[in-house]
């Protein structure tokens, strides 16, 4: 029994003597149809945040924005999502803009988690500027935390920055967010400043963090070691990031 429980956690399927590795997670670019689930995670992670992120505007209008999600596959479920995108009249577009301002992005109630064929379990948003990649948000579903998901999102962002030849990554983080600070320090982020009373909910300060160039040989060697350690601990993830 222990063998099969362990196999399930690792995504290994046994068929007689044959062993097949089944990848459970997919890292891919965010789609419009993901917005309801991403908002669900945002509310869970940042309950005092207002207004919510206008993800539709980010995906459709912000040329700098690059959003990545981690998807958990559930082959026993059949529920799919409709992005709700339909051709809009001028009046419809006007009301759409009003909804963006008010944060009303949902397209309807979500099915239970166990009924979703694709469960979004984490996301990251990055603005790809000419000489840096600025991380604007990152969050993981509460039930999937401490499973390497946030770290995988960060790894994917560093890979995207290297592919686009953008040397620096920057971000702001709450001064009290110990786990996040430890993760960023692990990947070479350093404190370069502090924004006082940065967060509107409790006026907490934010550290400004940045990396040295992610294009140098020294960074690449360290990054490759950390990426390999993550894969050994948490397994392989499929990738479909544009």
Q: Could you give all domains of the chain from N- to C-terminal order, each with its CATH number?
A: 17-234 (3.40.630.30)
CA distance linking residue 34 with residue 72, whole number of Å: 13
What burial class does residue 181 get, using C-beta atoms within 10 Å of its C-beta: 0-12 exposed, 13-18 middle, 19+ buried?
middle
CA distance linking residue 89 with residue 76, whole number of Å: 39
To the query of whether residue 72 is one of the catalytic residues in this protein, the response is: no
Strand segments, DSSP code E, in 16-64 are: 18-21, 25-29
Which band of pLDDT confidence, cut at 50, 70 and 90, is reported for residue 105?
Answer: low
> Across the chain, what does the average pLDDT equal?
84
Which band of pLDDT confidence, cut at 50, 70 and 90, is reported for residue 36?
Answer: very high
178 is written with which tokens? 């110990």
Kindly name the residue from 172, 198, 199, 204 that is annotated as catalytic. 172
Kindly name the residue from 25, 67, 184, 207 that is annotated as catalytic. 184
To the query of whether residue 184 is one of the catalytic residues in this protein, the response is: yes
User: Residue 240 forms beta bridges with which residues?
Assistant: 28
pTM over 0.75: yes
CA distance linking residue 164 with residue 167, whole number of Å: 9
Query: Tens digit of pLDDT for each residue in 165-212?
Result: 999 999 999 999 999 999 999 999 999 999 999 998 899 999 999 999
Hey, how many other C-beta atoms are within 10 angstroms of the C-beta on 23? 12
The pLDDT of residue 80 is 56
User: Where do we find the tokens 């099969």?
Assistant: 4
**Would you say 72 and 25 are in contact if contact means Cβ atoms under 8 Å apart?**
yes
**CA angle (43, 45, 48) in 5-degree steps:** 60
39 is written with which tokens? 């908002």
């Amino acid at each position: 029994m222990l063998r099969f429980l362990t196999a399930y956690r690792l995504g290994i399927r046994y068929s007689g003597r044959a062993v097949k590795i089944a990848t459970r997670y997919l890292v891919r670019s965010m789609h419009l149809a993901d917005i309801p689930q991403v908002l669900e995670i945002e509310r869970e992670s940042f309950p005092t945040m207002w207004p919510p992120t206008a993800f539709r505007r980010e995906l459709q209008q912000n040329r700098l924005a690059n959003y990545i999600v981690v998807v958990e596959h559930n082959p026993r479920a059949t529920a799919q999502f409709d992005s709700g995108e339909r051709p809009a009249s001028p009046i419809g577009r006007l009301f759409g803009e009003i909804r963006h301002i008010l944060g009303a992005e949902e397209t309807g109630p979500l099915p239970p988690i166990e009924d979703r064929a694709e469960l979004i379990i984490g996301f990251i948003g990055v603005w790809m500027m000419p000489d840096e990649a600025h991380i604007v948000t990152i969050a993981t579903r509460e039930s999937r935390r401490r499973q390497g998901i946030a770290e995988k999102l960060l790894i994917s962002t560093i890979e995207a920055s290297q592919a686009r030849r953008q040397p620096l990554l920057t971000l702001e983080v709450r001064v009290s967010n110990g786990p996040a600070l430890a993760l960023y320090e692990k990947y070479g982020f350093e404190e370069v400043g502090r924004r006082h009373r940065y967060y509107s909910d409790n006026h907490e300060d934010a550290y400004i963090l940045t990396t040295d160039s992610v294009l140098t040989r020294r960074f690449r060697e360290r990054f490759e070691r950390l990426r390999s350690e993550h894969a050994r601990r948490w397994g392989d993830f499929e990738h479909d990031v544009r």
